[in-house]
Amino acid sequence: MNLETLRIFLVVAEVKSIARAAEILDMNGSSISRKIKGLEEELNTELFHRGGKEFNTTSQGTQILKQVGTVLGEVDQIRNLANNDQEVSGPISLIVPPTIGNALAERFLVPFIKRYPKVKLRIKVNSGRQVDTLYDNDLAISPNLPSDSSLIAKKIFNGKQHFYAGTGLLEKYGVPSHPAELENYPYLVLLDDKSYSQDVQTWNNGQGLSGKFNTNSVAYSDHTEILARMVADNVGVACLPKGAFLNNPTLNFVRLFADEYYNQNCLYAIYPSRQYRPHRINVLAEELERFFNTKHAL
């Protein structure tokens, strides 16, 4: 058993396809099949169900996959420790959505560049909140999991999206006591938010409380700051991260409900695959994770 074989197993399990794994790993499909078969013989167990359209792990394979992920993560940490004395230099290409780009520009990018003057940082603002492909970029930050199963996502932030309304709107419609009552209010839709579909908004606080309601949708945008301004102008209610209001602290808005009624607001670091990443990419990803988890980042 070696690390290369474990990484091959992990990639195949994640993309559920020998052919897709071959593309990601730049290997021959038959070589991958032999590696997987050899690992199964060494462990004396079947790791995958065969015969279907997808290469799904068996129950034993699923348990082993969890341990493999832990082992490879620890190996990466060891490499990072060994790289701590290495100079952080070279090109990094980063994709971010518009609102996050604003937050990084104000409070993260300048200090990062000053700390690592030999890094050549290229930043591309994605037009929406969904990352479908990385092309030739090294890393993307997104509030949604990627649609491309060959991309690897790591959760780096788990915050909250609360419901907000303008004071004028509340004077007209009254103050709701539960999200279900919002079906009677004009609603502003955050596009590419997986919790909204076909005029139905779902919410789940990750702590055991969840629900859904039909919406009277009056406007749609994938830019949270646009919706925040519309909230303040009493156009409708919206479910937004607090960061949507950070650049406009004078906006007149009210956060609705007790702190138990909210939706989760996650951010993911998205990579091409679990292949070895240069030290500079890991440094940027780790510093972004620390930044997003500071009190006033988002």
- Note whether 249 and 184 are same-domain residues: yes
User: CB 56: neighbour CB atoms within 10 A?
Assistant: 13
Mean pLDDT across the stretch 287-293? 91
Residue 116 lies in a domain: yes
Residue 173 lies in a domain: yes
User: CB 130: neighbour CB atoms within 10 A?
Assistant: 18
Residue 34 lies in a domain: yes
Express as a percent the part of the chain with pLDDT over 90. Answer: 40
The whole-number pLDDT of residue 16 equals 84
Number of domains within the chain: 3
CATH code for the domain of 53: 1.10.10.10
What's the pLDDT tens digit per position in 111-138? 999 999 999 999 988 766 566 677 778 9
Which residues form the domain of 246? 158-265
Q: Which stretch of 35-39, 184-188, 241-245 has the lowest confidence by average pLDDT?
A: 241-245
What's the pLDDT tens digit per position in 87-110? 788 999 999 987 788 788 878 999
Q: Is 33 exposed, middle or buried (0-12, 13-18, 19+ CB in 10 A)?
A: middle
Mean pLDDT across the stretch 15-28? 78
> Which H or E element spans position 64?
helix 59-83
- Note whether 97 and 176 are same-domain residues: no
**Residue ending a domain, choose from 83, 99, 122:** 83
- Note whether 124 and 71 are same-domain residues: no
What's the pLDDT tens digit per position in 27-74? 788 999 999 999 999 999 999 998 777 788 999 999 998 888 888 877
